[in-house]
Amino acid sequence: MRRALFAAAFALVAGSATAQETEIRVHYAIPTIWADTQKALAEAFMAKHPEIKVTLDGPAEGYPEGVQRLLREAVAGTAPDVAYVGLNRWRILQDRGLTQPLDGFLGDDPAEQGYTPALLSLGSFKGQQHALATSASTLVMYVNPKLVEQAGGSMDDFPTTFDGVIELAARINALGDTIDGVWIDRHDWRYQSLLGAYGGRPMNEDETDITFDSEAGIEAARLYQRFAKEAGMKSYADSDARQALPAGTLGIMFESSSLQTRFEQGAGDAFELTVKPLPLGTDDEASVYFPTGGSGIVMLTRDEAKQKAAWEYIAFVTGPEGQKIIVENTGYAPANSIVVEDKEYLGAFYEKDPNALVAHTQIAQHAGPWYAFPGAEGVAVTDLIAAALVDVTEGADAEATIKDLAETLRVQLGMK
């Protein structure tokens, strides 16, 4: 009886809207990167699926603000049906039971649709798929070839080890008072990337213990100190460094591959900004992984009809056609293996943009999850990691600092 009533009510509501058309509301953030892309995605999707209408919510300024808004809307019961969130932030929504698992929609063979296990790992937790990556970025080196040549280095024979990079950076740094050799942000994600380059992991698999106080983690932290001591790295804030690189006063910068377009525009004709892959700190290449930033998409609606439409949309934007639009418009790397492997989609794009190919190849080879620390203190501890890296950069003993930090995190995260 009650079901019948509900069904009748639902039919009434649905009937008063346009017949047969399902509307889904989509949330996204960072309009400076995404606004045009989102419009293009929605239009391409609706052209293919006229029975579904996509409405874009007004974008949030950034991913943190976006998650805030989603939480607020969830409390008020006005959450959108589908949302793009930062790859390190969907766990906040999952933690509060807001995301709908996607396993039922994915079918038995996700790899065939281009969702490789590495890509799926970016959005899965405890065996359930809560998010699918929509765009990806990893840490790469941005190099100013002019400065490298002035310092007597060569772009063809660019160092592929951290020792080589430090040695070259020191020579660039010696070029002048206003010239800097190298810079990397003291930040959780950057540290996790260096850690991965040495083959380490921040946590064990079931997330019950911190593991970055291993030899790999200490080496990764020591890099910060060596950059400062041997290559004269300054304690720039990220915005300072992001001005210095395009201005031509910074030789090598470790930064997210998503900034490539912005840096290239900034450098203009002054020099030919070049992207180099991150050096590896270990011979065991299978253990290397680079935590992947970028965005993922989650399904929030609990309504069955809407879920179907939402899945159609998610499948489209994470599929090769949607990915092609995203890559061409944002400079992010794709999160679908078909679009990379099949030249039909992006072959021409890569030919025009060899820098992008470097970054995207690195992701295809070594993509791994950007570990989000579990629980209520999960975001807070990332600031503690950043603070510890400041200490190490300024001369504190790397081993003692990292071991201390790991202990603090274990206590704060309730692991002991």
Residues that bind other proteins (CB under 8 A): 64, 68, 71-72, 74-75, 92, 96-98, 177-180, 186, 234-237, 239-240, 243-244, 247, 249, 376-377, 379-380, 383, 386-388, 390-391, 394
- What span, in angstroms and rounded, lies between the C-alpha atoms of 247 and 267? 7
Instruction: Give whichever of 43 and 65 is closer to other proteins, judged by the CB atom.
Output: 65
Instruction: Give whichever of 70 and 194 is closer to other proteins, judged by the CB atom.
Output: 70
Instruction: Give whichever of 224 and 313 is closer to other proteins, judged by the CB atom.
Output: 224
| Minimum CB–partner distance for residue 371 and other proteins (Å) | 17
| Minimum CB–partner distance for residue 384 and other proteins (Å) | 9
| Minimum CB–partner distance for residue 110 and other proteins (Å) | 29
| Minimum CB–partner distance for residue 171 and other proteins (Å) | 18
Instruction: Give whichever of 97 and 127 is closer to other proteins, judged by the CB atom.
Output: 97
| Minimum CB–partner distance for residue 352 and other proteins (Å) | 31
- What span, in angstroms and rounded, lies between the C-alpha atoms of 174 and 232? 9
- Are β-strands 139-143 and 128-129 bridged in parallel, bridged antiparallel, or unpaired? unpaired
Instruction: Give whichever of 113 and 243 is closer to other proteins, judged by the CB atom.
Output: 243
| Minimum CB–partner distance for residue 393 and other proteins (Å) | 9
Instruction: Give whichever of 71 and 106 is closer to other proteins, judged by the CB atom.
Output: 71
Instruction: Give whichever of 103 and 383 is closer to other proteins, judged by the CB atom.
Output: 383
What SS3 string covers the chain? CHHHHHHHHHHHHHHHCCCCCEEEEEECECHHHHHHHHHHHHHHHHHHCCCEEEEECCCECCHHHHHHHHHHHHHHCCCCCEEEEECCCHHHHHHCCCCCCCHHHHCCCHHHHCCCHHHHHCCEECCEECCEEEEEECEEEEECHHHHHHCCCCCCCCCCCHHHHHHHHHHHHCCCCCCEEEEECCCHHHHHHHHHHCCCCCECCCCCCECCCCHHHHHHHHHHHHHHHHHCCCCCCHHHHHHHHHHCCEEEEEEEHHHHHHHHHHHCCCCCCEEECCCCCCCCHHHCCEECEEEEEEECCCCHHHHHHHHHHHHHHHCHHHHHHHHHHHCCECCCHHHHHCHHHHHHHHHHCHHHHHHHHHHHHHEECCCCCCCCCHHHHHHHHHHHHHHHHCCCCHHHHHHHHHHHHHHHCCCC
Q: Which amino acid is at 187?
A: H
Instruction: Give whichever of 93 and 358 is closer to other proteins, judged by the CB atom.
Output: 93
| Minimum CB–partner distance for residue 61 and other proteins (Å) | 12
Instruction: Give whichever of 48 and 96 is closer to other proteins, judged by the CB atom.
Output: 96
| Minimum CB–partner distance for residue 335 and other proteins (Å) | 25
| Minimum CB–partner distance for residue 127 and other proteins (Å) | 24
